[in-house]
Structure 1
Amino acid sequence: MDGDTILLDAGSTTLQLARLLKANKKQPLTVVTNALNVAWELAFVEAIDLILTGGHLRHRTLSSVGPIADNTLLGLYVDKVFLATNSLDVERGLTTPNIYEAQTKQKMVKAGREVIVLADHSKFGRISLGFVCPITAIHRLITDPGAPQEDLARLKERGVEVIVATRD
């Protein structure tokens, strides 16, 4: 929506969302991100006011994490958070293998009015070391047709809006 403020987490699916935003260059938008590749993708789009969190760079994910990123996020409030995840378990919630990344993602969840998780089918039924948030913190999940139908039904029962994206 025009004029929205969104937060884009680091991840392959959020990078794809950034590319879609870039293709729609006329929509005025404020984007906050901790991802170097997302920032680079949007850096030359004049309609987008881009804010970077700063922080300690995780080379593997090109994400900024740690106290600097966390402190930046504590001072922000956005309309929508688009969160990536390594692992999604209906009972255990969202988790990630890196505890510093988990802490930064926790601040992202708190910074948003609406939390939207982007997770393909490979993330389901997995649990990693660092806890991010319970399923109840998620408003919407966007996934692909390969996601386990039983898990999608259980998410809906817990109040999560589920959107299964197709390539059409």
Structure 2
Amino acid sequence: MMIKHGQLDMTWVGNERQAHILKLVEEFGSVRVADMSKKFNVTEETIRRDLERLEREGLLKRVHGGAVSIKKNQTEIPFFRRQSINIKEKQVIAQKAATFIENGDIIALDASTTSLQMAKYIQDKEITVITNSIAVTLELAGREEVTLITIGGYLLDKSMSFVGISAQKVIDDYHVDKFFFSCTGFDVQRGVSEAHEMQAQTKKKFISISDQLFLLADHSKYGTKSLIRVADLEDVDYLITDDKMSVNDMRSIRSLGINVVLA
């Protein structure tokens, strides 16, 4: 930053801005062009040039709408940190998703922060909820109208969730009408993908016992190809996303026969 008339001028010079962008990518796993444009008070085209330079230097990977970390040992972003990422988008997506729940439904919620937001909007519905999320369990605990089933197993403390072979065996015994889940990224060619293998395997098991699949993902996740494929995108019945998804992207997704719902 530069000093101007005795005060801090919040205009970031190129190299300093790029270094800070890289730090954010390494801390959160990904960044969005639109968010960086607002943060550094520069045009989105300037941010894209920054990301192009950082990619040429092998420091990150550009994806649709932003960039992701290329660290080979990248693991799940801690749950409490993920809660603050794109929180407004998650809330509107979660609120819309809750409208698809009907009395008598058996639903499953994954361990995503979007599913936690969705649990907050489940009101006055007599349903059964199956989840591997500690946070969702705590949110729904004590609600008389909800029959709550928590899947045990190996505890992942970063995501506050149960995974592993024992969790998958328990899931196998159930049937689910509607599975609501999120992901690290989704793409027409790559499908729905996750960064953490055990988390991905648990979601695959939920998918195998569910009649309908509801993918809850904001527009920034489109075009991101993560480590483990969870499902083909055409397997999804409904994509519930925010209204920042581009028209061309929605057209590509709808061509697969997916119902795209804008929150």
* Residue identity in the other structure for 2:105: D
RMSD: 1.0
* Residue identity in the other structure for 2:203: K
Q: Distance between the aligned counterparts of 2:213 and 2:154, measured in 1? A: 24
Q: Which runs of 5+ in 2 are unaligned?
A: 1-101
Q: Which runs of 5+ in 1 are unaligned?
A: none
1:19 pairs with 2:120:
yes
1:6 to 107, 131, 137: 107
1:158 pairs with 2:256:
yes
1:92 shift after superposition: 0.7
- The answer to whether the 8 Å contact 1:85/1:95 transfers is yes
In structure 2, the partner of 1:73 is: 171
Q: Distance between the aligned counterparts of 2:245 and 2:225, measured in 1? A: 16
In structure 2, the partner of 1:89 is: 187
The one of the two structures with greater contact order (alpha-carbon pairs below 8 A, sep at least 6) is 1
1:47 pairs with 2:145:
yes
1:147 pairs with 2:245:
yes
* Residue identity in the other structure for 2:188: V
In structure 1, the partner of 2:21 is: none
Q: Give the structure with higher Rg (CA).
A: 2
Q: Distance between the aligned counterparts of 1:11 and 1:147, measured in 2? A: 20
SS in 1 for 2:103: coil
Name the count of aligned residue pairs.
162
* Residue identity in the other structure for 1:77: H
What whole-Å deviation, never above 9, does each CA across 1:71-90 have from its counterpart, x for those lacking one? 11111111100011111111
1:155 shift after superposition: 1.1
Moved over 3 A (4+): none
Task: Give me the TM-score of the superposition, normalised by structure 2.
Answer: 0.60
State how 1:105-116 maps to structure 2 within 5 Å. 105-116=203-214
Higher strand share: 1
- The answer to whether the 8 Å contact 1:109/1:137 transfers is no
Higher helix share: 2
1:147 shift after superposition: 2.1
In structure 1, the partner of 2:220 is: 122
* Residue identity in the other structure for 1:19: K
- The answer to whether the 8 Å contact 1:90/1:151 transfers is no
What whole-Å deviation, never above 9, does each CA across 1:58-116 have from its counterpart, x for those lacking one? 12221211111111111111110001111111111011111111111111111110000
Q: Distance between the aligned counterparts of 2:160 and 2:245, measured in 1? A: 26
1:28 to 113, 126, 140: 126
SS in 1 for 2:130: strand
What whole-Å deviation, never above 9, does each CA across 1:105-138 have from its counterpart, x for those lacking one? 1111111100000001121110111110001210
SS in 2 for 1:72: helix
Q: Distance between the aligned counterparts of 2:248 and 2:155, measured in 1? A: 37
Q: Distance between the aligned counterparts of 1:109 and 1:148, measured in 2? A: 27
Q: Distance between the aligned counterparts of 2:227 and 2:153, measured in 1? A: 21
- The answer to whether the 8 Å contact 1:124/1:148 transfers is no
